[in-house]
Structure 1
Amino acid sequence: MLNKTILQFARTWALPLLAVLFLASCQKMGPVPPPWKNQAKKKTIWEVASSDGRFSLLKAAVARTGLVPALNDKKANLTVFAPTDDAFRAAGFRTVSDIAKAPVDVLKAILLYHVVGDEVFAAEIPQASNTPVPSLNGQPLYVTRTSAGNVFINGVKVIIADIDCSNGVIHVVDRVLIPAPGNIVALASGNSNLSFLVAAVIRAGATGTDVAAILSSDGPFTVFAPTNQAFAAAGLTSVEVINNADPAFLLNVLAYHVIAGARVFSSDLVDGADVPTFQGSTLEISLGSGARVKGNANATASNITITDLLATNGVVHVIDQVLLP
């Protein structure tokens, strides 16, 4: 009898009273936010990068250039394309000592070229090729997101996307992004391994077509640039030989190395594609163990040995053969 009385009391008063007390306590506490919404638990971009062993050279470069406060600013809203240590080594910064020897202004310009002044996650990037996005360096980055969701910056693939930080987001890249040193002619003139190409451009101007002026104009252009060794293998063994070559022949050959009206980064190359050139004929692209390009009269394809050298008016890919139409 007593048990029945207790059970009846519970049903009538105790259980409803507990429910009221529970609801009241929930109203006082408010909703509990999911842990990923708690910004206080996130690290800043600097804290993430400086504590990750993959970014020791980036850490040294940021410290040397005085950019720690900017990347540690909790009120900032940034996107950083962070090169790994392997990326810095490939760019010639093999050790922290190399970072310490680099001119601060040059290093700072390079680092700022990796930063966008807004937080942009991978899914927010437009699905398009080479969308210009201003960097904190002042020069644009060219951002691509493919239909498969892959992201490329100036042809360089983002290997890890969306590391969420309290003051922005980090995307990891495996190459250092180098700002354009000038237009295509300026870029080639500053590279001692392309001095024969520069001589050929100047000599071709004897036809009355100012090739140097064309390649210095707004463009954009994509140029497959043969090295000095490539010119020598084609019989143009010195600047003196080039200066005595038929300028009409050089004009025809040089025009065959130029794609007009587009920046074609390595990420834009399509296997088996026939690419129209400024000369009028096409080049054949092949992508196997590495990117290659073949001229119609070449017996074999040329290797693209260095990709995606950015100029203010286009992009240059270095090749190891002269392409023949």
Structure 2
Amino acid sequence: MRSLNFNLFKKSTLILAAASTLLFSACSKDDDDEMMGSQTITQVVMNNNDFSLLETALVQAGLTGVLEGNGPFTVFAPNNAAFAAAGLDTEAKIKAVPVETLKKILLYHVVGQRVPASAIANASNSPVKTAADMDIFVTKNSSGVFVNGAAVTQADVMASNGVIHVINTVLMPATGNIVAVAQANPNFSFLVAAVLRASQGSTNVAQVLSGTGPLTVFAPTNQAFMNAGFASVAAIQAADPAVLTSILTYHVIGARVFSSDLVEGSKPATVNGATVGITLAGGAKVNGNKNSTASVISPANMVTTNGVIHVIDQVLMP
């Protein structure tokens, strides 16, 4: 198993160096020597009580040997609170995840270079290939360093074979495009029905949301649709496709916008030409022009192959 894991990582790292060049500035050998700790990444994890759930996951996925290797690696490491927030707060729950799925999730947190925070360029959502052969999106600005919108809460935990940046979220790799992710989530069944009904009109909304993107969708839950007067899927299926198209395209921004990109008081333009309002006090919220109150964004930062989804509790009205 250790050999298989190493080969998987080695194959992925062939892509990593080229993909990361534009984002990360090079470190000299002297810099590397100064930054090296005395323990490997695996040892750092195993000796830190706040990484006990990460340790369980690495053992279960058979990746402890990989992260004891020469590297160098950069690991965006979720702490115990991050695992708990993802519903993986016990050893039993982690072990219930299929091993290959768990391995993919963990490798999605690993980059095949030693990258201290000082080497990360000031930029927004720069794509970086991971050992899972999928991109993460790294941002560095005046507020700190973020990956897929998740904050780095402690940077530069040095190891002999790389560096660890502690993050407050378990990063989940994309499982499909925006439409596919919505279809797989039972809490979006009203939204999916609305997209399909709208696509029967002059604009194929499903095709737009399945396109290359990147796109950001503020996705209302089923309850949000019911609160907006769509009592059932049948009611949505009976609605005017043009009306639904106007509403749905008002929930879409033509760019990849993680929660870390949201700015207090900003008014980003949506695909239908109107703007929404962003507020951050008391948690991120988005407001439609005809909504009396702002909609809470929670959870945020669901990554898809063509963008990102933020769940909201109201249907935005243009």
TM more than 0.5: yes
Coordinate RMSD, CA, aligned: 1.5
- What are the ranges of 5 or more consecutive residues in structure 1 without an aligned counterpart? 1-33
Alpha-carbon distance between aligned partners in 2 of 1:195 and 1:114, rounded to the nearest angstrom = 30
Match of 1:197 in 2: 191
- Structure 2 counterpart of 1:118, from 103, 106, 113: 113
The reply to whether residue 263 of structure 1 matches residue 289 of structure 2 is no
Amino acid corresponding to residue 169 of structure 1 in structure 2? V
- Check whether the contact 2:36–2:161 (CA below 8 A) recurs between aligned residues: no
1:41 is displaced (CA, Å) by 6.3
Change beyond 3 A, Cα 1:207–1:104: same
The reply to whether residue 179 of structure 1 matches residue 181 of structure 2 is no
The reply to whether residue 276 of structure 1 matches residue 269 of structure 2 is yes
User: How many residues are aligned here?
Assistant: 288
Alpha-carbon distance between aligned partners in 2 of 1:37 and 1:208, rounded to the nearest angstrom = 61
1:210 is displaced (CA, Å) by 1.0
The reply to whether residue 60 of structure 1 matches residue 53 of structure 2 is no
Match of 2:87 in 1: 92
Amino acid corresponding to residue 117 of structure 2 in structure 1? A
Match of 1:13 in 2: none
Alpha-carbon distance between aligned partners in 2 of 1:198 and 1:69, rounded to the nearest angstrom = 43
1:100 is displaced (CA, Å) by 1.4
Match of 1:70 in 2: 66
Equivalent runs, 1:1-325 vs 2, <5 Å:
37=33, 42-73=38-69, 75-147=70-142, 150-260=144-254, 262-325=255-318
1:109 is displaced (CA, Å) by 0.6
Deviations 1:90-114 (A, max 9, x none): 1111101111111101111100000
Deviations 1:261-299 (A, max 9, x none): x10000000000011110111100001011111100111
Larger Rg: 1
Q: Secondary structure at the match of 2:302?
A: strand
Amino acid corresponding to residue 230 of structure 1 in structure 2? A
Q: Secondary structure at the match of 2:101?
A: helix
- Check whether the contact 2:35–2:158 (CA below 8 A) recurs between aligned residues: no
1:121 is displaced (CA, Å) by 0.6
1:40 is displaced (CA, Å) by 8.6
Which structure has more RCO (C-alpha within 8 Å, separation ≥ 6)?
Answer: 2
Alpha-carbon distance between aligned partners in 1 of 2:37 and 2:207, rounded to the nearest angstrom = 55
Alpha-carbon distance between aligned partners in 2 of 1:40 and 1:266, rounded to the nearest angstrom = 33
- What are the ranges of 5 or more consecutive residues in structure 2 without an aligned counterpart? 1-29
1:38 is displaced (CA, Å) by 7.7
1:76 is displaced (CA, Å) by 1.3
TM-score normalised by structure 1 residue count: 0.86
Alpha-carbon distance between aligned partners in 2 of 1:37 and 1:254, rounded to the nearest angstrom = 53
- Check whether the contact 2:36–2:158 (CA below 8 A) recurs between aligned residues: no
Deviations 1:228-268 (A, max 9, x none): 000000111111110001111000000100001x1000000
Alpha-carbon distance between aligned partners in 2 of 1:76 and 1:281, rounded to the nearest angstrom = 48
Q: Secondary structure at the match of 1:58?
A: helix
Alpha-carbon distance between aligned partners in 2 of 1:123 and 1:38, rounded to the nearest angstrom = 14
Which moved further from structure 2: 40-49 or 314-323? 40-49
1:147 is displaced (CA, Å) by 3.4
TM-score normalised by structure 2 residue count: 0.88
Alpha-carbon distance between aligned partners in 1 of 2:134 and 2:235, rounded to the nearest angstrom = 38
Q: Secondary structure at the match of 1:129?
A: strand
Amino acid corresponding to residue 115 of structure 2 in structure 1? V
Amino acid corresponding to residue 203 of structure 2 in structure 1? T
Alpha-carbon distance between aligned partners in 2 of 1:282 and 1:98, rounded to the nearest angstrom = 42
Amino acid corresponding to residue 269 of structure 1 in structure 2? L
The structure 1 segments of at least 4 consecutive aligned residues displaced by more than 4 Å after TM superposition are 36-41
Alpha-carbon distance between aligned partners in 2 of 1:312 and 1:120, rounded to the nearest angstrom = 25
Identity %: 52
Q: Secondary structure at the match of 1:306?
A: coil
